[in-house]
Amino acid sequence: MKLFTAASAASVLAMTAGAAFAEPKAEVMHWWTSGGEAKSVAVLQEEFAARGGSWTDMPVAGGGGDAAMTALRARALSGNPPTAVQLKGPAIQEWYEEGVLADISDVAEAQGWADVLPAQLAEHMKCDGHWCAAPVNVHRVNWIWANADILESNGIEMPTTWEEFNAAAEKLKAAGVTPLAHGGQSWQDATVFETVVLGLGGPEFYQQALVDLDEEALTSDTMKQVFDEMRVLRGYVDDNFSGREWNLATAMVMNGEAAFQIMGDWAKGEFVAAGKVPGEDFLCAPTPGEGYLYNVDSFAMFEVEGEDAKEGQALLAELIVGPSFQETFNLNKGSIPVRTDVSLDKFDMCAQKSSEDMQADAQNGSLLPSYAHGMALRGAQAGAITDVVTAHFNSDMSSEEAVEQLAAAVANSM
Ligand code: GAL
């Protein structure tokens, strides 16, 4: 028996198990191309390679993923979808309804996902009761980022109300500093808009307006005030904001060209990738008001032929939710692990705050899905809202006109 070496044992096993030993392969479509994002996705590539996987990268540049989703539709229509796709929120179920998503319940059950994922977030990963996506992280959307030196030298504290924010911005403007770094792309307008809806209206109003699409909420005085504030914020961005990518807006804050950015905590991934330290170089604080807007990145697997591709999908799913990946990836990405059993010891003060608030908001019913990042609504409804938000931001449309258009656009999208 001693002659029966490890190598021959492995080859006998390989022969008997046959295809189960195919080399795992994956073509992975994602939109993580900025500095912090690229560092983060590299963690997954490395772990995949370390387990013998071969990865074909399919990055589609463009923050927020609009371009990636267009590319996905083209690939899927031609009958040749990537094996794994960065996909999140109700878009997962929309693709499932097309009959093109693979069931990854085997991996999820073997790895005990149900025991380590918060129930509210796990629901997004289910299609007709089975697991159809693997969650990567929890990004908080409602954050303000600030250049610490600019605030200090102008005698400004991190604002805790929108009035304080406006007062700070006026002061900065008078001092010749661009108050708000912003990229004029519709998803970025939507990102700012939803934080104002939450901040001025409160969690219950956010739920009614942007999750339940309640017409009364959409046309309310509160919603008019939200558009009033959007108009005020429009006055705080620089002249070159149109079309700017979000990470270039983050760089403006980093380099002292602007004071604030309202953006999800992938912005922190940029600061950190550039060696900046929270609490010293930059500050983070939730946007004024109550509540937590979450944006959970996840990957869905498309039905594909071939044992190697299926092995690749299973391996990817296992790694993505695995504790080691969840820690390293999220340290780079700016988000927090979606697993509840990963220690946050190595994480910074912004991540600790995110985690504490998430738990408190989950208890209070104020842990809410981000509409701007595709967590709350189906594509048609979210798109209808964003069109109006962007049209308002880029014109002199009145708030009254905006709420009318908003209600009409939502009604037409149903
Ligand atoms: C979000 C995505 C984040 C981040 C951001 C900017 O939609 O969930 O992970 O990458 O877009 O690209």
Whose tokens are 């937590």? That residue is 292
Residues 352, 356, 357, 360: what is their CA dihedral angle, to the nearest 10 degrees? 180
pLDDT for res 4: 38
The predicted pLDDT at position 8 comes to 41
- pLDDT at residue 290 in the model: 97
Instruction: Encode pLDDT of 73-105 as tens digits.
Output: 999 999 999 999 999 999 999 999 999 999 999
Average pLDDT of the residues in 294-319: 97
Q: Per-residue pLDDT tens for 244-289?
A: 999 999 999 999 999 999 999 999 999 999 999 999 999 999 999 9
Q: How confident is the model at residue 3 (pLDDT cuts 50, 70, 90)?
A: very low
Expressed in angstroms and rounded, the spacing between residue 329 Cα and the centre of ligand 1 is 14
Judged against a pLDDT cut of 80, whether residue 189 lies above it is answered with yes
For the chain, the structural domain boundaries read 5-139+296-350, 140-294+364-413
Best probe residue, ligand 1, of 295, 329, 336 (max atoms within 8 Å of C-beta): 295
User: What is the whole-number distance in angstroms between the Cα of residue 113 and the centre of ligand 1?
Assistant: 23
Alpha helices, DSSP H, located in 213-258: 215-218, 221-234, 246-254
1 or 170: which leads in pLDDT? 170
Average pLDDT score, the chain? 95
Distance 294 CA to ligand 1 centre (A): 12
User: How much is the pLDDT for 22?
Assistant: 85
- Indicate if the alpha-carbon torsion angle 264, 147, 67, 212 is positive or negative: positive
Tell me the average pLDDT across 14-19: 44
Ligand 1, pocket residues at CB < 6 Å = 31-32, 37, 63-65, 139, 246, 266, 295, 297, 373
Nearest CA to ligand 1 atom 6: 63
pLDDT in the model for residue 10: 43
Scanning 78-117, the segments in alpha helix (DSSP H) are 90-97, 105-110, 113-116
Q: Is the pLDDT of residue 18 over 50?
A: no
Per mean pLDDT, which range of 10-14, 41-45, 330-334 is the poorest?
Answer: 10-14
Encode 296-314: b = buried (16+ Cβ within 10 Å), e = exposed: bbbbbbbebeeebbbbbbb
Measured in angstroms, how far is the CA atom of residue 65 from the centroid of ligand 1? 7
Query: According to DSSP H, which parts of 257-368 are helical?
Result: 266-273, 307-321, 323-333, 349-364
**For 330-342, what is the mean pLDDT?**
97
Percent of the chain surpassing pLDDT 70? 95
Between CA 331 and CA 344 the distance in angstroms is 9
**Average of per-residue pLDDT across 102-129:** 97
Measuring CA to CA, which residue among 191, 337, 330, 352 is closest to residue 269?
330
Q: Give the C-alpha distances (Å, rounded to integers) separating 289 from 67, 75, 231, 349.
A: 32, 41, 19, 19
Residue 279 phi, psi (nearest 5): 90, -20
Region 140-294+364-413: CATH code: 3.40.190.10
Give 3-state DSSP helix, strand, coil % of the chain, rounded to 5.
55, 15, 30
Query: Which CATH superfamily is 5-139+296-350 part of?
Result: Periplasmic binding protein-like II (3.40.190.10)
Give helix 379-393 / helix 221-234 axis angle, nearest 10°.
Answer: 60
Ligand 1, atom 11, lies closest to the CA of 64
Residue from 124, 103, 148, 141 nearest 314 by CA: 103
Closest CA to 178 of 246, 249, 230, 244: 249
Nearest protein CA to atom 10 of ligand 1, as residue? 32
Under a CB-based contact definition with an 8 Å cutoff, are residues 332 and 36 in contact? yes
Q: Report the alpha-carbon distance of residue 65 to residue 88 in Å, rounded.
A: 10
User: Residue 57's pLDDT is what?
Assistant: 97
What per-residue confidence (pLDDT) applies to 5? 41
Q: Which residue's CA is the closest to the ligand 1 atom numbered 1?
A: 64
Pocket test for ligand 1, best of 266, 294, 296, 335 (most atoms within 8 A of CB): 266
Tell me how crowded residue 288 is: count the other CB atoms within 10 A of its CB: 20
Residue 138 C-alpha to ligand 1 middle, in angstroms? 11
